[in-house]
Chains A and B, each alone.
Chain A
Amino acid sequence: DGGITQSPKYLFRKEGQNVTLSCEQNLNHDAMYWYRQDPGQGLRLIYYSQIVNDFQKGDIAEGYSVSREKKESFPLTVTSAQKNPTAFYLCASSIPTGVATNEKLFFGSGTQLSVL
């Protein structure tokens, strides 16, 4: 089955610790995204990448970092600088169609990150 795989499903972070969330896709999509979901706040964009070895900050990038070394993978690191990391993190991908880079987003099943 083609799709987006996020792991782990649940993750706990200790104070001062960096944690990395995995996102892998086998849809052959060029564009990938990381969103943060908090109750009552919708989906907020953290980082996105339209092509391998290139990525841009979204609306709430502070305290996060990403890499895009392979087309299939877009891991997100939540650093100790992110003071309120507890949230549901969603990875997504899309096919750029001309200039319409987000015609349809395909989402993974998410990772719930909690602070110990």
Chain B
Amino acid sequence: QQQVKQSPQSLIVQKGGIPIINCAYENTAFDYFPWYQQFPGKGPALLIAIRPDVSEKKEGRFTISFNKSAKQFSLHIMDSQPGDSATYFCAASIQTSGSRLTFGEGTQLTVNP
């Protein structure tokens, strides 16, 4: 069964901290790993994505770290701000076969001022 497990379910940090959200997957055929950010009452939006041929990808304050052997990937938010408070979803798919995204359970992040 294609599953993506995400942790923690919720996370509270102070402004300037570096929250880390982790995801683990089972299917070694997954080849596309995006992260989506969702603000309350809104739909998710693509934040950053990685493919397994690289171990890290940075976009601004957001970094994905990817460990292919451990079948894990994580999102790091540098210098976190209260405006980063949102729910974050990891996901995975097999792009080469056009499969649908499998989402993790989500992490509710709160960044206190």
- Residues of A that sit less than 8 Å from B by CB: 4, 33, 40-45, 48, 58, 90-92, 96, 99-105, 107-110
Contacts and interface: CB of A to CB of B under 8 A. Distances in A.
Given A40-B105, A42-B6, A99-B95, A107 B44 contact: yes
Interface residues of B, number: 24
A33 B103 CA distance: 14
A92 B43 contact: yes
Contacts, number: 60
Interface string B35-48: 01000011111100
23 contacts: A4-B43, A40-B106, A42-B6, A42-B89, A42-B103, A42-B104, A43-B44, A48-B100, A90-B43, A90-B44, A92-B43, A99-B98, A100-B32, A102-B93, A102-B95, A102-B99, A102-B100, A102-B101, A103-B32, A105-B36, A107-B42, A107-B45, A110-B42
Contacts of A33: 100
Contacts of A40: 9, 105-106
Interface in B47-104: 89, 93, 95-101, 103-104
A113 B93 CA distance: 28
Given A45-B101, A102-B98, 20 more contacts: A40-B9, A43-B44, A48-B100, A58-B100, A90-B44, A91-B43, A99-B96, A100-B32, A102-B95, A102-B99, A102-B101, A103-B32, A103-B95, A104-B34, A104-B46, A105-B36, A105-B101, A107-B45, A109-B43, A110-B42
A41 B105 contact: yes
A96 B99 CA distance: 11
A110 B43 contact: yes
A33 B32 CA distance: 18
A100 B95 contact: yes
